[in-house]
C-alpha cells in the first residue's frame, strides 16, 4: 500500500509562518476533505530548522541539469540525500553531468519538488479533484501569510 501526500510549502524557501497561522492552515486543509465521500488520513504541519527537501517520492523520474541540459543521474541524487540528509545549509552541489556547481533548486525535476522550512501535509487525501485548486492555495496563503505552492508526492 503506497501513500500519497499533498505537501504545501511557502514559495520562499526560508519563510516560516507563526504557529497560530500554521494551525489555522492545517484546519482549513482538513476542511477541504471533509465533504461526504471525501477523506484524508491526516493533515499536519512541520517546521524545519534548516531548508529541507520537499520531495515527490516516486513521482520524480527524471532530473536535468540547469547548466548543461544533461540528465542528472537519479541514483546520484538519492545517494546525495541519503548521505547528507534532507536538510541543507547550502543548496550548492557539484552535479555529475558537467561538474558545475549549481543550487539543487535550480535543477529541473520532471515532477515538481520543493525546498522549504515549513510544510502542511495531507496524507492519502481523496476527493473528486485531488489537488488543491488555485483558489484554495490562495486561501492557505492568506491564512499563513505567504504565497504557497503544492508538491504532490507518492511513496
Residues that bind Zn ion (CB under 5 A): 65, 67-68, 70, 95, 97-98
Q: How far is CA 15 from the centre of its chain?
A: 14
Closer CB to Zn ion, 68 or 80, in the complex: 68
Quick check: 15 and 153 in contact, CB under 8 A? no
Q: Minimum Å distance from CB 75 to Zn ion? A: 16
In the complex, the smallest distance separating the C-beta of residue 70 from Zn ion, rounded to whole angstroms, is 5
- What distance in Å separates the CA atoms of residue 21 and residue 19, rounded to the nearest whole number? 5
Query: In this complex, which beta carbon is closest to Zn ion, that of residue 102 or of residue 116?
Result: 102
Cβ 14 to Zn ion shortest distance, Å: 26
Q: Which is nearer to Zn ion, 97 or 143 (CB)?
A: 97
**Euclidean distance between CA atoms 151 and 148, whole angstroms:** 10
State whether the Cα torsion 76-53-149-26 is positive or negative: positive
Distance CA 137, CA 142 (A): 9
| Comparison of 3 and 71: residue with beta carbon closer to Zn ion | 71
Could you tell me the three cell numbers for 3?
501513500
State which residue has the least CB distance to Zn ion.
65
CB of 80 to Zn ion, least distance (A): 14
| 92 Cβ contact partners less than 8 Å away, ≥ 6 residues apart | 101, 102, 103, 104
When the beta carbons of 50 and 108 are compared against Zn ion, the nearer one is 108
State the nearest-atom distance from the C-beta of 101 to Zn ion, in Å. Answer: 10
Amino acid at each position: 500500500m503506497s501513500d500519497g501526500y499533498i505537501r504545501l510549502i511557502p514559495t520562499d524557501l526560508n519563510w516560516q509562518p507563526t504557529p497560530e497561522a500554521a494551525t489555522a492552515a492545517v484546519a482549513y486543509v482538513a476542511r477541504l476533505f471533509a465533504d461526504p465521500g471525501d477523506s484524508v488520513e491526516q493533515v499536519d504541519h512541520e517546521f524545519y530548522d534548516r531548508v529541507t527537501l520537499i520531495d515527490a517520492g516516486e513521482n520524480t523520474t527524471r532530473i536535468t541539469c540547469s547548466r548543461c541540459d544533461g540528465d542528472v543521474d537519479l541514483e546520484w541524487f538519492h545517494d546525495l540525500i541519503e548521505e547528507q540528509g534532507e536538510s541543507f545549509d547550502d543548496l550548492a552541489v557539484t552535479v555529475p553531468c558537467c561538474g558545475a556547481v549549481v543550487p539543487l533548486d535550480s535543477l529541473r525535476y520532471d515532477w515538481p519538488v520543493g525546498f522549504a522550512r515549513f510544510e502542511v501535509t495531507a496524507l492519502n487525501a481523496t476527493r473528486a479533484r485531488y489537488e488543491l485548486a488555485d483558489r484554495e492555495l490562495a486561501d492557505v496563503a492568506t491564512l499563513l501569510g505567504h504565497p504557497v505552492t503544492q508538491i504532490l508526492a507518492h511513496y
